Structure 1
Amino acid sequence: MVKKQILFVMGVSGSGKSTIGKLLADKLQIPFFDGDSFHPEANVKKMKEGHPLNDDDRQGWLEKLNEVGKDNISTGAVIVCSSLKKKYRTILGQNLENKHQFVYLEGSFELINARLSQRKNHYMPAGLLQSQFDILEFPDEALIVSIDQTPEEIVNDIIEKL
């Protein structure tokens, strides 16, 4: 039995965070929150125009996702958020009483770029992928799961590691 906790599913755009997060939340029967839906309009506009977000753009968004985590600490939840830098993960985990875990969906640039080129109607252009890999700070504190398998296998891998 997996203990109730806040699970932050992290990785670069195109790594499968939303798909895996929804499946994981369903399997664990806990709420699911897509971090993208909490971005302010200015952030979405900036990304649609092909500009990467900076730390100032992300600050309020990360604080909001931390609030979502705190609001769901008693039930547990899955929150998907790129969480690319250690300082972002620190903000996300503040005051969660060590009842949270990061799950890093790891994949190569080539694999993820191929996936992004297939994606339609998403505000994150594939051209920003390199900027995400450039700022990614490897999450030593996270469960590491390879995305080079089916979504069901990924979710089963996560649950086994939890």
Structure 2
Amino acid sequence: MTEESGERTFVPRVMEPDIFVVMGVSGSGKSTVASQLATRLGLEFIEGDELHSAENVARMAAGVPLTDADREGWLKVLANRIREARLAGRGLVLSCSALKRSYRDVLRQGSPAVRFVYLHGERALLAERMAQRAGHYMPATLLDSQLATLEAPDASENALAFNITTPPDVIAAAVAMTVSHRTE
């Protein structure tokens, strides 16, 4: 209501597009869950690992853990992809380790409404999964450095957490339900 005229003014509420980052250490199933979630919601899927620089890929393939400085450019590229999707009004599902809160803060620069899906599990299961993958540049020897770097999202970070013993399709379905049951 305006004070002068007593009339009500309608201000349309702009809905943010659904943007998810499926996160966790290597072997947690990020790509599988993210791909299934994107398919279920009809959204674009971006495999974050594919956007690493050649230098970062070479470091990881050689068993050298990435530093914050190594990750900085990569995270900014991902934040730009999130921003582009948000500005275009398109939803997006992105897989990205997002190990630290500071990394997630960079991703939030693309959209403050980004929702994180945190996949976590026991080291032994993660290592077993990494040992079974073929053709990935990330060696299992880097798992411990990722676990040491990991800062699990806290309650203030708009994150859903799932144990990796839950089947990927069940996780994707549970996350998809948060979209269809959100209050507008």
Same fold at TM > 0.5 = yes
1:20-99 equivalences in 2 (<5 Å): 20-73=33-86, 74-96=89-111, 98-99=112-113
Normalised by the size of structure 1, how large is the TM-score?
A: 0.94
The aligned counterpart of 1:113 is 127
Structure 1 moving runs of 4+ over 4 Å: none
- Percent identity between the aligned chains? 44
CA deviation map 1:62-111 (0-9, x unaligned): 00000000111111100110000000000011141x32111101111111
Structure 1: gaps spanning 5 or more residues: none
1:138-157 equivalences in 2 (<5 Å): 138-140=152-154, 141=157, 142-157=159-174
Helix, strand or coil for the counterpart of 2:136?
coil
Give the one of 16, 32, 35 matched to 1:19: 32
User: CA separation in 1, counterparts of 2:74 and 2:107?
Assistant: 10
Aligned-residue Cα RMSD (Å) equals 1.2
CA positional deviation for 1:146 = 1.6
Normalised by the size of structure 2, how large is the TM-score?
A: 0.83
Letter in 1 for 2:145: S
Q: Is the 8 A contact 2:27 2:126 kept in 1?
A: yes
May I ask how many residue pairs the two structures share in their alignment?
159
The aligned counterpart of 1:127 is 141
1:158 aligns with 2:158: no
Structure 2: gaps spanning 5 or more residues: 1-15, 180-184
